[in-house]
Amino acid sequence: MKPGCAAFADQIEELALGSLDEPTRTELLQHAAECSQCRARLDQLAWVTEQVLATAPEIEPPAGFEDRVLARLIDSGSVVARARSHSRSPSWRWLVTAAAAVALVVGGFSVGHWQRRSTAAVTEAVSSGPIQRNDGTRAGTIVLARTPVPHVLVAMTQPRPSTEPVQCILIGPDGRRTDVGSWTYADVEHGAWAVGIDSSLLGSARMEIVDARGKVLAAAALSPA
Amino acid sequence: MVVMTLAPRLEKLSDEALLTALGLGDPDAAVVFIRRFQAKVFGVASLITSDRVLAEDIAQQAFERAWRHAGSYDGRRGSVATWLLTITRNLAIDACRVRRADPVDPEQLLAMLPPTGELDPLAAAVHADAMDRVRPALAQLPAEQRRAVLLATLAGRTTTEIGEIEGIPVPTAKSRLRLGLAKLRDSLALQGLS
The pLDDT tens digits of the residues spanning B148-188 come to 998 898 888 889 989 998 999 999 999 999 999 999 999 98
Could you tell me which residue, B15 or B115, shows the higher pLDDT? B15
Residues 9-28 on B with a CB inside 8 Å of A are 9-10, 13, 17, 20-28
Ranges A15-24, A57-66, A72-81, B181-190: which has the least confidence = A72-81
Which chain A residue is nearest to residue B4, measuring alpha carbons? Answer: A178
Half-sphere exposure of B92 (CA within 13 A, CB side): 35
The pLDDT, as a whole number, for residue A78 is: 61
Judge whether A142 and B45 are in contact, CB under 8 Å: no
pLDDT of B37 strictly over 50: yes
The pLDDT, as a whole number, for residue A221 is: 93
Q: Which residues from B are below 8 Å from A14, CB to CB? A: 158-159
Q: What is the pTM of this model?
A: 0.56
Half-sphere exposure of A67 (CA within 13 A, CB side): 3
Instruction: Test B130 with A195 for CB contact under 8 angstroms.
Output: no
Cβ neighbour number for residue A2 with a 10 Å cutoff: 12
What are the tens digits of pLDDT across the range B39-78? 999 999 988 888 889 999 999 999 999 988 888 887 777 7
CA distances from B80 to B87, B147, B194 (A): 11, 27, 17
Could you tell me which residue, A113 or A158, shows the higher pLDDT? A158
pLDDT of B18 strictly over 90: no
pLDDT band at A177 (very low <50, low <70, confident <90, very high): very high
The pLDDT, as a whole number, for residue B7 is: 33
Closest Cβ–Cβ partner in A73, A74, A149 for B21: A149
Which chain B residue is nearest to residue A47, measuring alpha carbons? Answer: B194
Instruction: Test B27 with A74 for CB contact under 8 angstroms.
Output: yes
The length of chain B in residues reads 194
In angstroms, the CA B77 to CA A34 distance is 20
Judge whether A73 and A106 are in contact, CB under 8 Å: no
pLDDT band at B144 (very low <50, low <70, confident <90, very high): very high
Of A48, A95, A145, nearest in space to B26 by CA? A95
Ranges A43-52, A64-73, B104-113: which has the least confidence = B104-113
Mean pLDDT taken over chain B: 78
CA distance, residue A19 to nearest chain B CA (Å): 6
Strand, coil or helix: what is A30? helix
In angstroms, the CA B27 to CA A206 distance is 30
Instruction: Show the beta-strand stretches assigned E in A104-191.
Output: 113-115, 122-133, 138-145, 151-156, 166-171, 177-183
What are the tens digits of pLDDT across the range A2-19? 678 999 999 999 888 888
Could you tell me which residue, B97 or B165, shows the higher pLDDT? B165
Instruction: Test B44 with A51 for CB contact under 8 angstroms.
Output: no
pLDDT of B115 strictly over 50: no
The pLDDT, as a whole number, for residue A71 is: 86
The pLDDT, as a whole number, for residue A84 is: 32
In angstroms, the CA B149 to CA B153 distance is 6
What are the tens digits of pLDDT across the range A118-165? 333 345 678 888 888 888 888 888 888 876 567 788 877 655 667 788
Q: Which residues from B are below 8 Å from A80, CB to CB? A: 25-27
| ipTM of the shown complex | 0.75
Could you tell me which residue, A211 or A81, shows the higher pLDDT? A211
pLDDT of B93 strictly over 90: no
Interface test with B, best of A15, A17, A123 (most B CBs within 10 A): A17
CA distances from B182 to B145, B158, B174, B188 (A): 10, 17, 12, 10
The pLDDT, as a whole number, for residue A194 is: 72
pLDDT of A220 strictly over 90: yes
